[in-house]
């Protein structure tokens, strides 16, 4: 009797905003560490060097905004991922070309995604970012099914078609008005994808529609509209179908990488936003030694600029 009477009260306490500060508004962590999930190496030219990789541009992109990076290996036991989740302050799922349900990349991402949702309601803030395949993966995790279709935008730079929700978004809230204007008029985003989430498909799916706001759309090479930037309405989950990391850190002449002053500003503001989200997370490693060992500084990027479209890549 007592227990059943007390339980609803306890639950109420757990979930009421009076008992806990709103997630992300408490202490600020000025030494954030962001995990980058390593990607399975499916690139023929890069295969000889490692089973998994992270292009160095993703690392520089995050570091440039004031954080440290921890590479997250694939195929760790679930308990290791859980331990890492409570040690790092956010995670980035990079681009690539792997199965969005069966790959090790997708399986590891699912653990972080699930934990980030789970702990949010007890005041624990853990931001999640998806780039390109990372965006596609987040939509699969949220919808519980793969809703991708052809959305061809290979090696093209494009302006963003900003939606009405962009103006009230968290992601763009600190962007100067002249930058927002440039984003919608100039070709500031790099695109390298064959698939995407069509705008109509997105709107028709209640799980996606209720979970994310669409901040921008683009039109693919065949005239079909797809979502290009999304942000969680409640949860700190963010994703772009385009590649903000290339504007400042990839230089292959033969690819449509935007390097204009506004393109560089856009990339800086994007990185700045996500790292600031990670400052709202107070997760930490259990010891300074463990923290040190987890950081990317132990690894050396390899120069691959003379035979691949990247300049430098970390192999694992
Ligand atoms: C931008 O999106 C709106 C709303 O979907 C659409 O009507 C318009 O044609 C799009 N513009 C471009 C340039 O794609
Ligand atoms: C990529 O696009 C640029 C700019 O349009 C073009 O000059 C280049 O040839 C393209 N590269 C490839 C590999 O298609
Ligand atoms: C690329 O440069 C490295 C030196 O950094 C060299 O060892 C390698 O042979 C070069 N590869 C090609 C394909 O030119």
Taking only the tens place, the pLDDT of each residue in 252-298 is 999 999 999 999 999 999 999 999 999 999 999 999 999 999 999 99
Query: From CA 217, how far away is CA 225, in angstroms rounded?
Result: 7
Cα→Cα distances 214→132, 151, 297, Å:
15, 16, 36
Residue 137 lies in a domain: yes
Query: From CA 282, how far away is CA 29, in angstroms rounded?
Result: 6
| Residue 307: partners with Cβ closer than 8 Å, 6 or more residues away | 45
Q: Is 29 in the pocket of ligand 1 (CB under 6 A)?
A: no
Catalytic residue among 193, 243, 265, 283: 243
pTM of the model: 0.92
Query: From CA 260, how far away is CA 76, in angstroms rounded?
Result: 40
Atom in ligand 3 nearest the alpha carbon of residue 305:
1
- Name the closest ligand to CA 223: 1
Residue 52 lies in a domain: yes
Residue 149 lies in a domain: yes
Query: From CA 158, how far away is CA 189, in angstroms rounded?
Result: 5
Find the mean pLDDT for residues 120-141. 97
Residue 13 lies in a domain: no
Residue 21 lies in a domain: no
Q: Is 219 in the pocket of ligand 1 (CB under 6 A)?
A: yes
Query: What is the number of domains present in the chain?
Result: 1
**298 is an active site residue:** no
Question: Residue 40 is part of which domain span?
Answer: 27-315
Q: At what angle do helices 261-278 and 56-63 cross, to 10 degrees?
A: 70
Per-residue pLDDT at 316 exceeds 60:
yes
Give the CATH number of the domain where residue 273 resides. 3.40.50.880
Residue 19 lies in a domain: no
What sign does the CA torsion over 163, 141, 125, 246 have?
Answer: negative
Q: Is 228 in the pocket of ligand 1 (CB under 6 A)?
A: no
- Per residue in 25-77, pLDDT (tens digit) is 568 999 999 999 999 999 999 999 999 999 999 999 999 999 999 999 999 99
Residue 7 lies in a domain: no
Residue 91 lies in a domain: yes
What sign does the CA torsion over 18, 20, 23, 26 have?
Answer: positive
């Amino acid at each position: 009797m007592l227990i059943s009477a007390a339980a609803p009260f306890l639950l109420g306490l757990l979930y009421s905003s009076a008992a806990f500060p709103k997630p992300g508004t408490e202490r600020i962590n000025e030494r954030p560490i962001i995990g980058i999930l390593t990607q399975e190496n499916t690139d023929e030219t890069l295969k000889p060097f490692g089973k998994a990789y992270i292009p160095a541009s993703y690392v520089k992109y995050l570091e440039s905004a004031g954080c440290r990076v921890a590479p997250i290996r694939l195929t760790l036991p679930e308990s290791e991922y859980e331990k890492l989740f409570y040690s790092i302050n956010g995670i980035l799922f990079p681009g690539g070309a792997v199965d969005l349900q069966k790959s090790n990349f997708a399986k590891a991402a699912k653990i972080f995604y699930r934990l980030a949702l789970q702990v949010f309601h007890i005041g624990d803030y853990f931001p999640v970012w998806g780039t390109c395949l990372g965006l596609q993966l987040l939509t699969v995790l949220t919808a519980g099914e793969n809703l991708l279709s052809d959305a061809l935008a290979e090696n093209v730079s494009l302006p963003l078609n900003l939606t009405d929700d962009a103006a009230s978004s968290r992601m763009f809230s600190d962007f100067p008005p002249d930058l927002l204007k440039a984003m919608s008029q100039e070709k500031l985003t790099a695109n390298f994808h064959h698939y995407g989430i069509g705008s109509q498909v997105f709107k028709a799916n209640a799980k996606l529609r209720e979970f994310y706001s669409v901040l921008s759309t683009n039109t693919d090479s065949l005239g079909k509209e797809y979502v290009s930037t999304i942000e969680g309405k409640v949860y700190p989950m963010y994703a772009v179908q385009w590649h903000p990391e290339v504007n400042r850190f990839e230089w292959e002449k033969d690819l449509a990488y935007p390097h204009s002053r506004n393109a560089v500003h856009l990339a800086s503001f994007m990185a700045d936003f996500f790292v600031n989200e990670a400052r709202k997370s107070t997760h930490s490693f259990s010891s300074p030694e463990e923290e040190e060992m987890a950081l990317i500084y132990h690894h050396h990027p390899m120069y691959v600029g003379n035979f691949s479209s990247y300049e430098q890549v970390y192999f694992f």
